[in-house]
C-alpha cells in the first residue's frame, strides 16, 4: 500500500509508480469516483472528443478521396484512441 501526504492546500502528489500502474502520463487527467464509506475509485480519464473536432481534423488536409469504408475505419480507430 502507498501512503500519500495531503498538503495544507489540500493537494496530493502521486508517486511515479502509482501513475505508471494507472497508465497516467504527465498532462493527462484522472477520474475519481466517490464511493460509500469514504472510499474512492481512481482511474485514468478517457479523453473525449467532439464530432466538430473530428471533422476539423480532416478539413483541407489531404487531396486523397476516401471511401466510406476508409472513413469508417479511420473514425473507429480515432474513437478507440488509436492513431
Q: DSSP of the chain, one letter per residue?
A: -----B-TTS-B---HHHHHHHT--TT--EEEEE-GGG-EEEEEPPP---HHHHHHHHTTS--PPPPHHHHHHHHHHHHTT--
| Domains of the chain listed by start with CATH number | 1-46 (2.10.260.10), 48-83 (no CATH)
Question: How much is the pTM?
Answer: 0.48
Mean pLDDT for the stretch of residues 55-80: 77
**Tell me, what's the pLDDT at 37?**
92
How high does pLDDT run on average in the chain?
Answer: 83
43-72 average pLDDT score: 74
The model's pLDDT over 15-55, given as tens digits with 9 standing for 90+, comes to 899 889 888 888 888 999 999 999 999 888 877 767 766 66
**Higher local confidence (pLDDT), 2 or 35:** 35
Amino acid at each position: 500500500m502507498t501512503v500519500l501526504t495531503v498538503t495544507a492546500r489540500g493537494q496530493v502528489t502521486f508517486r511515479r509508480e502509482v501513475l505508471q500502474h494507472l497508465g497516467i502520463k504527465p498532462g493527462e487527467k484522472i477520474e475519481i469516483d466517490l464511493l460509500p464509506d469514504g472510499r474512492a475509485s481512481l482511474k485514468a480519464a478517457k479523453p473525449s472528443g467532439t464530432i466538430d473536432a473530428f471533422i476539423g481534423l480532416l478539413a483541407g488536409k489531404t487531396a486523397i478521396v476516401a471511401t466510406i469504408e476508409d472513413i469508417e475505419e479511420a473514425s473507429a480507430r480515432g474513437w478507440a484512441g488509436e492513431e
